[in-house]
């Protein structure tokens, strides 16, 4: 096995002199005015306009490994290159001579596993959170003895066999699913594909979380089949739910609703556009013993919000956890308007003294912008309130301090006046 990688080495690690012999790998170079300091201090990406894209660089296959040099030809580390992507290079290892093999993956997986085993009593969590766990563009969610891998970058696709071998060795999982869907793969020029890489999966997987049982369809569901990131926010909302009438919009497979029922909610209504997701939510409610207090309503969330308002419906706890309305900066303004609209339509449905939970998974919308959009919407909905909780993703979704995109999730809980 190779020695442990130097991914975590301090930024002050001695840099080999210009022209030092390396592994014979291709070399890519930052433009003279590009900021090398950010890379040395832990920023993991190089954008297309920061790299010299000569004919040799343009000839590299997507996901190829190369040594990154600064403008003075000093090595910065080992990167993976994809000239088809706006993120043209991703830092893999501070050691430009690192060997990317099963042993290299095992080092990172072992470190990630040790953290999760300290945090959680059962093996249900996000095991790898991409750059924040030292594996750029890779997401792995674990469901007991099953793992779902999302190789969202070209290099990850190219090294998938070594990754899976290390994953099975380190975690002992028996079943591995590749979920090759989503916007990120398209940006990398990768085709969509979901397939079984090891073992067998014949039915949705039961996942215990916050006192409820969720059903994750790891072969055909959205993303990896379940969203672990909201776990602490589910738990907080459940503390407000005792005896409450709960409305959970964009509910997916039960989301906040099942957690609220575990917290003693009198009733919960889950709303989602997907009939398949709502069916899994119903199965989760049945498995949890909550079926008599649980109901579903299929439809577009905005249309359902308007219909419930026209019906005069009122709930003690309303939760809105939509998909990313602002997945990138060009969509920011439209996304903020959508978040404002959600708040405007949801606020009137909250009974006097009740609670409104508003969430965003758009990394392009920072906390301040999202909070302001929510406040405007609540005001336009004729209500006022105080923020009593600001939540983020759970600790199995660590944040790389240098990369704002790794801290994408925001959850705000408003206590509304009469």
Q: Check: CB of residue 93 under 8 Å from CB of residue 44.
A: no
Nearest to 280 by CA among 367, 178, 224, 204: 204
Nearest to 246 by CA among 263, 232, 229, 233: 263
Task: List, in order, residues 6 or more apart from 241 with CB less than 8 Å away.
Answer: 259, 260, 261, 263, 264, 265, 317
d(CA 41, CA 35): 11
Assigned token pair, 219: 């072969």
In the residue annotation, 361 being an active-site residue is answered as: yes
Residue 319 to residues 261, 289, 409: CA-CA distances in angstroms? Answer: 13, 22, 15
Give the distance from CA 187 to its chain's centroid: 16
Nearest to 60 by CA among 146, 143, 178, 154: 154
d(CA 174, CA 123): 13
Q: Check: CB of residue 190 under 8 Å from CB of residue 180.
A: yes
Q: Count Cβ neighbours within 10 Å for each residue of 246-258 and write b for 16 or more, e otherwise.
A: bbbbbbbbbbbbb
Alpha-helix runs per DSSP H in 9-65? 36-40, 55-58
d(CA 113, CA 99): 21
CA pseudo-torsion sign 158, 161, 162, 164: positive
Query: How big is the CA angle at 58 (ends 57 and 62), to the nearest 5 degrees?
Result: 95
Assigned token pair, 145: 């003895």
Beta bridge partners of 385: 416
Complete edge-to-edge strand list for the sheet that includes strand 294-298: 294-298, 267-272, 245-249, 315-320, 350-360, 410-416, 385-391
Q: State the catalytic residues.
A: 361
């Amino acid at each position: 096995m190779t020695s442990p990688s130097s991914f975590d080495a301090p930024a002050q690690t001695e840099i080999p002199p210009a022209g030092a012999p390396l592994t014979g790998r291709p070399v890519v170079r930052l433009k003279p005015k590009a900021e090398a300091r950010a890379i040395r201090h832990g920023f993991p990406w190089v954008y297309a306009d920061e790299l010299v894209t000569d004919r040799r660089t343009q000839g590299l296959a997507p996901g190829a490994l190369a040594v990154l040099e600064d403008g003075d030809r000093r090595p910065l580390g080992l990167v993976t290159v994809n000239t088809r992507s706006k993120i043209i290079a991703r830092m893999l290892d501070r050691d430009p001579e690192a060997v990317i093999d099963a042993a290299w993956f095992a080092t990172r997986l072992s470190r990630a596993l040790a953290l999760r085993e300290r945090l959680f009593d059962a093996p249900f969590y996000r095991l790898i959170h991409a750059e924040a766990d030292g594996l750029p563009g890779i997401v792995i969610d674990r469901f007991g003895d099953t793992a779902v891998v999302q190789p969202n970058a070209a290099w990850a696709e190219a090294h998938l066999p070594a990754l899976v071998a290390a994953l099975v060795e380190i975690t002992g999982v028996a079943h591995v699913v590749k979920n090759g869907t989503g916007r990120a793969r398209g940006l990398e020029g990768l085709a969509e594909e979901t397939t079984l890489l090891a073992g067998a999966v014949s039915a949705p997987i039961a996942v215990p979380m916050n006192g409820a049982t969720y059903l994750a369809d790891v072969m055909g569901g959205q993303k990896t089949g379940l969203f672990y990131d909201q776990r602490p926010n589910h738990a907080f909302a459940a503390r407000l739910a005792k005896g409450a009438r709960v409305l959970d919009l964009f509910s997916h497979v039960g989301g906040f609703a099942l957690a609220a029922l575990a917290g003693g909610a009198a009733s919960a209504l889950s709303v989602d556009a997907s009939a398949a997701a709502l069916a899994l939510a119903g199965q989760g409610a049945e498995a949890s013993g909550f079926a008599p207090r649980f109901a579903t309503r299929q439809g577009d969330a905005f249309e359902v919000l308007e219909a419930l308002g026209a019906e005069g419906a009122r709930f003690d706890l309303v939760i809105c956890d939509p998909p990313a309305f602002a997945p990138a900066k060009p969509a920011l303004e439209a996304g903020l308007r959508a978040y404002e609209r959600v708040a405007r339509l949801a606020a009137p449905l909250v009974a006097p003294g009740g609670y409104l939970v508003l969430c965003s998974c758009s990394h392009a919308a920072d906390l301040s912008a999202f909070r302001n959009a929510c406040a405007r919407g609540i005001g336009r909905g004729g209500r006022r309130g105080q923020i009593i909780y600001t939540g983020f993703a759970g600790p199995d979704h660590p944040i790389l301090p240098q990369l704002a995109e790794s801290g994408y999730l925001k959850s705000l809980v408003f206590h509304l006046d009469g």
